[in-house]
Amino acid sequence: MTHLRSTLLVLGLAAAVSAQAPTVQISIGVRETGASGGVFTNIGDNGGATGGIEFINRDGQTLVLDGTWQQFTFNLATDPITSFAGSTANGILDGGFGTLEHIRILNSQGILDPISIWVDDVADTITPAGGSPTTTTFGTFQGYADGAEVMFQEPSFSGSTAGFLQTGSTSEIDNYTASRTASYAFNFQFINLQPTNWVRLTTFNTINQGNPMVRFDQNSVVTFWLRGGVGQENLGSQGPGNAIAEMCGTGLGVGNSSTYYLAGAQPGAPGAMAVSFAGLPDVPILGGNLVSFVGFIGTLPVAADANGRFSTPSPGSSILLDLVFQTVLFDPNTTSNLAFTNALLVRYGR
């Protein structure tokens, strides 16, 4: 324990005043699949992949890449419309319905570091004349396996923006989003510092929930939540029990900070976070697996709240140090009365 406290004290002393978090600009593109008529079925159904594409409030909103969830709202009746591509793209929404074709992310600050972005709770709210608002949330990303491709293609899929990205971009279901619920994660990196570079996160013909239909009329408002920042690597070994953990923020380098999140624990459950040096052998114990536990330094106390959640921030550091964080909590529903979260590779100084 003394060793652990000393290590964390050194990291804390090496931390600098928090730097301002970088930002990117956010907007959406909708495809006019109903421009020539057609049949509207339900919000979120596959609405097809033909027709022009219009930007809605192009580059008009800002995502702060600090690891927090932020909601974005697009009012199709009042937001500015700019043509992007296709014969019907004319700065006007043609037809009474279409699809959410993409989320546009503009690299307005010229960020060259890798970027991680999560999306959740994609919805369309309509308010018919004289009626009440009705919200349909068609993008909850629940019930899919880790790594599945749902609604959005990988960032490099779109030919219109792939040239702005380095190779290796990914998109996948993330069931370890402890700060919220299951969500959809994108990982990509721009090829240079040009502030005009952007990425088109398209829904074009994705196998699961591709081309999701939205209304253009009835005062339609499209919303979703985004989170951006640096996520620490998930090393697995979750279970027994349902507790999961993640760590996300601006990073763990000088002037940055990230927050450790835990969810899925029993309400009010006590526990301990094991901190170990990374890259050493695991130790199976009491039905679980403690990752890199041969390098064990010590523990920090943890107590879940009434919703089975816990969070704690950590400042960044100038010291390069790789640690593993993994929490064990009391859980009367398991054979050993213990629940093990997944382990995280926590990389200070980066």
6-14 own/partner pairs: CB under 8 Å, 24+ apart:
7/275, 7/297, 7/321, 10/319, 11/315, 11/317, 11/319, 11/321, 11/348, 12/315, 12/317, 14/254, 14/317, 14/318, 14/319
For 19-28, give one letter per residue: b (16+ CB within 10 A) or e: eebbbbbbbb
In angstroms, the CA 216 to CA 94 distance is 8
Is the pLDDT at 6 greater than 60? The verdict is: no
Band of pLDDT at residue 192, cut at 50, 70 and 90 = very high
Is the pLDDT at 99 greater than 50? The verdict is: yes
**% of the chain with per-residue pLDDT over 90:** 92
In angstroms, the CA 183 to CA 199 distance is 19
Band of pLDDT at residue 5, cut at 50, 70 and 90 = very low
pTM: 0.91
Residues 47-80 have pLDDT tens digits of 999 999 999 999 999 999 999 999 999 999 999 9
Q: What is the pLDDT of residue 95?
A: 95
Is the pLDDT at 16 greater than 50? The verdict is: no
Is the pLDDT at 8 greater than 80? The verdict is: no
Return mean pLDDT, the chain: 94
Is the pLDDT at 10 greater than 60? The verdict is: no
Q: Residue 267 in 3-state DSSP?
A: coil
Band of pLDDT at residue 38, cut at 50, 70 and 90 = confident
Q: Residue 152 in 3-state DSSP?
A: coil
Mean pLDDT for the stretch of residues 181-187? 95
Mean pLDDT for the stretch of residues 180-196? 96
For 187-217, give one letter per residue: b (16+ CB within 10 A) or e: bbebeeeeeebbbbbbbbebeebbbbbbbbb
Interacting residues of 20 by C-beta distance below 8 A, sequence separation 6+: none
In angstroms, the CA 236 to CA 345 distance is 10
Mean pLDDT for the stretch of residues 246-264? 96
Structural domains in the chain plus CATH codes: 23-230 (no CATH), 232-348 (2.20.130.20)
The identity of residue 22, as a single letter, is P
Band of pLDDT at residue 14, cut at 50, 70 and 90 = very low
Q: What is the pLDDT of residue 18?
A: 54
Q: Residue 237 in 3-state DSSP?
A: coil
Mean pLDDT for the stretch of residues 227-241? 96
Is the pLDDT at 310 greater than 70? The verdict is: yes
Residues 312-325 have pLDDT tens digits of 999 999 999 999 99
Mean pLDDT for the stretch of residues 15-27? 78
Q: Residue 318 in 3-state DSSP?
A: coil
Is the pLDDT at 3 greater than 60? The verdict is: no
Q: What is the pLDDT of residue 36?
A: 86
Q: What is the pLDDT of residue 11?
A: 52
Structure tokens at 349: 């100084």
| H-run or E-run covering 310 | strand 310-315
Q: What is the pLDDT of residue 222?
A: 98
Is the pLDDT at 349 greater than 70? The verdict is: yes
Mean pLDDT for the stretch of residues 21-44? 95
Band of pLDDT at residue 13, cut at 50, 70 and 90 = very low
